[in-house]
Amino acid sequence: MARASSKSAGSARSGRHGCSAGVQATAEALANVVSPAGVTRAPCCAPTRGVLPAPDSDHVAAAKALVVVFSRLWPGVLATYGLTDSGARVSIKPDKWIRRMAESHGMIEPFEPGQIKSRDGQKLISYGTSSYGYDVRCARQFKIFTNINSTIVDPKSFDPTSFVDVEADVCIIPPNSFALACTVEYFRIPRNILTICLGKSTYARCGIIVNVTPLEPEWEGHVTLEFSNTTPLPARIYANEGVAQLLFLEADEECATSYKDRAGKYQGQTGVTLPRA
């Protein structure tokens, strides 16, 4: 009997993350209650269940409380099901979703459904739809920072004469300086989506940093890009080629107040937009 119990206990501990299959099954059940759309990926010890009926609010609240407990004891199991302390599911959207939203809702205009890496036989820094994001292009309008006026850089009262306007296929940023630009693409962000931006590694490996703050739910406009040249040498930026990748994160529920609702000061911006107080 002792050997049988030991064997049974050994089987119970055979699940992933050093916990029992029962713990994993409970985590899957919590995921189905907290996010009724169903589990989309099966761990090794628990097959994916079908879509469950929508639970009532009391069940959801209880499940979220249990998720908090689980997060302290078995955080790896929760991560398998895309759950966090709050019981929320946040998913990154794939290429199929990006194409669908661009074509049916005008989320990205103009839109490139594939990856463009060359033009007329010339290599480009790639742009267009990637596996889980969209690589944006830089337009031909640039504002290059200059200190010839010796003014103070004040985000509440920015002096537009601190920039030199350039319209060209290539922008040269002076050493240890920066330039502003904007995307070719105009974006309309859905209400349940938060978009973050990461610079392309091709530029990062040259010491050129691309900075963009998150695109908030229901924001729309051309994205203003900031290029920082961290090197002691002039740096080159190419217009109409890829400069940064946007990632689209979907929340488990819509926000109470979107960027559009609160009439954000950069709503509907076009071209290169300077700081607004």
Instruction: Specify the DSSP element, H or E, that contains 204.
Output: helix 201-204
Residue 71 CB contacts under 8 Å (≥ 6 apart), including other chains: 78, 83, 84, 85
Which structure tokens are listed for 35?
Answer: 């996010």
Percentages helix, strand, coil for the chain, rounded to the nearest 5?
A: 25, 30, 45
Residue 244 CB contacts under 8 Å (≥ 6 apart), including other chains: 135, 136, 197, 198, 199, 200, 210, 212, 225
Determine the Cα–Cα distance for residues 268 and 203; give it in Å rounded to an integer: 28
Radius of gyration, CA atoms only, the chain: 24
Q: Is 226 a catalytic residue?
A: yes
List the end-to-end C-alpha distance of the chain, in Å, as a whole number: 76
Catalytic residue among 112, 185, 226, 241: 226
Decide if 190 contacts 105 (C-beta within 8 A): yes
Peptide bond preceding 110 in cis form (omega within 30 of 0): yes
Report the catalytic residues: 226
